Chains A and B, each alone.
Chain A
Amino acid sequence: MAVADMGSKKFDYAPAPESRAIVDIRPSYGLFIGGQWVDPTDGHAFKTISPSSEEVLAEVSEAGPGDVDRAVKAARKAYDTVWSKLPARERGKYLFRIARILQERARELAVLESLDNGKPIRESRDVDVPLVAAWFFHYAGWADKLDHAGFGTSPKPLGVAGQVIPWNFPLLMLAWKIAPALACGNTVVLKPAETTPLTALLFAEICQQADLPPGVVNIVTGAGDTGRALVEHPGIDKVAFTGSTEVGKMIARSTAGTGKKVTLELGGKAANIVFDDAPVDQAVEGIVNGIFFNQGHVCCAGSRLLVQESAFDEVLESLKRRLSTLRLGDPLDKNTDIGAINSLEQLTRIRELSEVGESEGAARWTVACELPDKGFWFPPTVFTGVSQAHRIAREEIFGPVLSVLTFRTPQEAVEKANNTPYGLSAGVWTDKGSRILWMADKLRAGVVWANTFNRFDPTSPFGGYKESGYGREGGRHGLEAYLDV
């Protein structure tokens, strides 16, 4: 092998699978209501599979409206009789306990997340689970400091929060929802996504280990109908939703006139803007991380790459070379970079939109890699020659598909970046600090990453402009969503 080829040649590694023996998946799960596992009364059961093998992992309950009602009542009772009466610092101590158990059971949670979701173990182990514990740790400390958070003296909780979360970061989204809600003194009913319920159910067990009072956290599994029953239940005071813009709009409509406080974290079509003075290798790493992290199942993914024309050739060449070294396959293998697409439904949507991309005239380039026989897979794909009118430049694909556009001036970059109904995030790559701040001023997005991408921290507020939703999660700002202010 010539030295010049080294960069594009993939080294062969022996398989290095993480053992799944650490997780103990039960054959079937009930609902977690009032601190206990109960069978659904008017619901059914469904199966959750591993998207990398299509193997059935467990049978899970689908909560009907009556079950949701029971869960809301349990949450209300816990709020009225226990949680709202508990001194704030004692509330905080429960959250610290949960944070510690999450750390203690980190490997188990990471393996289970990768099994149920399809994401590489490297990500669930090094990103998702550590952030989950950090989120609880951070908000644990807020519980008895709400007076200092800038919302007036003694801000009050809302009551019962109904929370519906997506499948892309199942446990992390649970943490983003439950930690601040509990810290502020609310009780919750949470519905995990249909395709990824297992870590939420393990979290229920963690609540039991922490001796969290029954009913403070209730987990109801199910699909869209369960979520709707929860969101529309008259007994909740707050709706927190992370998911698609389409469903977010439905929630905004259905909660209209109810007085429920609503926060929505929805879709995105983030521009990742690369200027010609950016260090190319660093930018390429950021581009790859921006769109291929978590198979592109990221609402803030940098799915539109805007490259300054003068740097186009160099960036694209380097990007393709880098993509050729990515390893796609078994999510539990520690060397895997790209895991499985979460569901057949999502795979179908990615395929359809990619075909539309081609038929509308963009040039498709796909990494040559073998896809496993079973499971749902989509190789990293890059479209060039994309115009702003193309659907792949406008619609959220939520997969490992990057659309590349070009620009000449910073003004043009801003116009193109903002030319979207979304406004969740953006990336800027340049050596010039003043330009970063100028761009950050002009970009209509809730998070702007400069010379980095997809960074998350419990202290850092996250959320969207425009049709990417409203409300912020994280840090001091994240408290507002769960306080009567």
Chain B
Amino acid sequence: MSDRIDVRKTYKLYVGGKFPRSESGRSYEVTDRKGHFLANAAMGSRKDARDAVVAARSAFPGWSTATAYNRGQVLYRVAELLEGRRSQFVDEVAAGEGLTTRKAEAAVDEAIDRWVWYAGWSDKIAQVHGSTNPVAGPYFDFSVPEPTGVVAVVAPQDSSLLGLVSVLAPVVVTGNVAVVLASEERPLPAVTLSEVLATSDVPGGVVNVLTGRTTEVAPWLASHMDVNAIDLAGAPADAVTELQVAAADNLKRVVRPEATDWARTPGPQRMLAFLETKTVWHPIGV
């Protein structure tokens, strides 16, 4: 038995590719399912949320105009790095969700494979959900999906990594940028994921991760006029209507929460929810 004292990690926010503490100077205790202390997580504020939106907006032009092939490569590399951090994720998921190691491993493996699944969509979504339109006239008319912009993601509260990946990957794979509000009681895998993203080729600002009180921060994201869409997957049931009302101010695209088995392979819905369709007309003639 070694007498060595281990070096513990500080769990911080992830904004614009950097790891700030909350500007509010606050933190909150994160415990495992039995109530044992795990870490102090940053308690993000309204200001942190607004900073994250600014960082996301400034990353949007570059990320959304990268080729689909490039985005696919970059996101696939994230999966490679997730695999390398597998044991760390397993520990955090097991502690936070109160799972056996075996169940935590299954959840982490599924999360990595889910990330790969979404990475593969990057250069396929337009081919599957775009179209040429046989209009009745001498026009070439086609429709292409385009990312909607800055997407706020209220991550699932229960499934701290698999659920998170299942709502984050579909946002960014198509060229959107994200501000994620991590699971309030189980935020540690989200912070570790942000460390993976920081060492990948995903440009800073494409994904921003906030930790803190969902009921405090989510309303600021829902009402923010420079946020284009919001996924309410992890919003508390009694706050959903209020958040939707706030989101209506600038007609955010809203994905409402519903009971979801995160282990099941999803369909394309979560990608489509954050895509606009652009239709182009061009005359045909000599």
Contacts and interface: CB of A to CB of B under 8 A. Distances in A.
B120 A435 contact: no
Given A134-B69, A137-B72, A148-B128, A410 B286 contact: yes
A437 B117 contact: no
Contacts of B124: 141-142, 145, 148, 459, 476
Contacts of A55: none
A92 B120 contact: yes
Contacts of A437: 140, 282-285
Residue of A138, A141, A434 with highest tally of chain B CB at under 10 A? A141
B116 A137 contact: no
A89 interface: yes
B127 A459 contact: yes
A148 B76 contact: no
B116 A142 contact: no
A459 to B, nearest CB: 5
Interface string A146-177: 00111000000000000000000000000000
A441 to B, nearest CB: 6
A96 B282 contact: no
Contact of A476 (B73, B127, B265): B127
Contacts of A134: 69
Given A148-B268, A435-B285, A438-B284, A475 B127 contact: yes
B151 interface: no
A93 interface: yes
B285 A434 contact: yes
A411 B69 CA distance: 38
B149 to A, nearest CB: 24
Contact of B120 (A140, A410, A433, A458): A140
B285 A92 contact: no
Nearest to A87: B113
Interface string A468-485: 000000011000000000
Contacts of A441: 284
A131 to B, nearest CB: 11
Interface in B219-249: none
Nearest to B283: A434
Nearest to B128: A148
A144 interface: yes
B146 interface: no
Contact of B121 (A137, A141, A411, A435): A141
Contacts of B68: 459
A144 B117 contact: yes
A434 B282 contact: yes
B140 A141 contact: no
Contacts of A92: 116, 120
User: For chain A, which range describes its interface: under 10, 10 to 19, 20 to 34, or 35 or more residues?
Assistant: 20 to 34
A441 B132 CA distance: 14
Interface string B113-145: 100110111111001100000000000100000
Contact of B76 (A96, A411, A435, A459): A96
A476 B128 contact: yes
B286 to A, nearest CB: 5
A411 to B, nearest CB: 8
Contacts of B127: 459, 475-476
Contacts of B72: 137, 141
B284 A434 contact: yes
B286 A435 contact: yes
Contact of A89 (B117, B121, B282, B283): B117
Contact of A438 (B69, B73, B120, B286): B286
Interface in A369-419: 410-411
Contacts of A434: 282-286
Interface in B6-36: none
Nearest to A141: B120
A221 B268 CA distance: 42
B128 A150 contact: yes
Nearest to A93: B116
A144 B128 contact: no
A420 to B, nearest CB: 22
B206 to A, nearest CB: 20
A438 B285 contact: yes
Contacts of A150: 128
A96 B78 CA distance: 13
Nearest to B125: A148
A402 B213 CA distance: 70
A150 B69 CA distance: 21
Contacts of A433: 282-283
Interface string A125-138: 00000000010011
Contacts of A476: 124, 127-128
Given A150-B128, A435-B286, A89 B123 contact: no
Interface string A63-80: 000000000000000000
Nearest to B122: A141
A89 B109 CA distance: 12
A433 B282 CA distance: 8
Contact of A138 (B116, B123, B267, B284): B123
Contacts of B267: 148
A141 B115 CA distance: 11
Interface in B244-286: 265, 267-268, 282-286
Nearest to B118: A141
Contacts of B117: 89, 144-145
Interface string A417-434: 000000000000000011
A28 B284 CA distance: 57
B201 to A, nearest CB: 13
B116 A96 contact: yes
Contacts of A138: 69, 123
Contacts of A145: 117, 120-121, 124
A148 B286 CA distance: 38
Nearest to A138: B123
Contacts of B73: 137
A475 B130 CA distance: 13
Interface string B184-198: 000000000000000
Given A96-B116, A148-B268, A435-B286, 19 more contacts: A93-B116, A134-B69, A140-B120, A141-B119, A141-B121, A141-B123, A142-B124, A144-B120, A145-B117, A148-B267, A411-B286, A434-B283, A434-B285, A437-B283, A438-B285, A459-B69, A459-B124, A459-B127, A476-B128
Closest 4 CB pairs of A and B: A141-B120, A437-B284, A434-B283, A434-B285
10 contacts: A93-B116, A137-B69, A137-B73, A141-B72, A142-B124, A149-B128, A434-B282, A437-B283, A437-B284, A438-B286
